[in-house]
Amino acid sequence: MNLNDARTLARDLDAKDPLASLRSHFDIPEGTFYFDGNSLGPLTFRSREVLHRTIEFEWRERLIRSWNEDWLAMPARVGNLIAPIIGAAQDTVICADNTSINLHKALMAAVALRKDRSEIVVDINNFPSDIYIAQSVARQHHMKLVAVPADEIIGAINTNTAVVTATHVDYRSAQILDVEGITKVTHSHGALMVWDLAHTAGAVPFEAAALDVDFAVGCGYKYLNGGPGAPAFIYVAPRLLEESDQPLQGWWAHAVPFEFEVGFRPAEGISRFLTGTANVLSMKSLEAALEVFDSISLGKLREKSMGLSTLFIDLFDAHLAAKGFTLESPRNPVSRGSHVALGFSDGKALVEAMSAEGIIADFRPPNLMRFGFAPLYNSHEDVVTLVERLSAY
Catalytically active residues are 127, 196, 221-222, 370
Strand partners, 175: 336
Alpha carbon distance 213, 190 (integer Å): 13
Q: Which residues contact 392 (CB under 8 A, 6 or more apart)?
A: none
Task: With H, G, I as helix, E, B as strand and everything else as coil, classify residue 215.
Answer: strand
Q: CA 355 from chain center: how many Å?
A: 23
- Output the CA–CA distances (angstroms, integers) from residue 141 to 187, 284, 343, in the order listed: 21, 37, 39
Q: Are 99 and 219 in contact (CB under 8 A)?
A: yes
Task: With H, G, I as helix, E, B as strand and everything else as coil, classify residue 370.
Answer: strand
Alpha carbon distance 23, 375 (integer Å): 9
Neighbours of 204 (CB within 10 A): 22
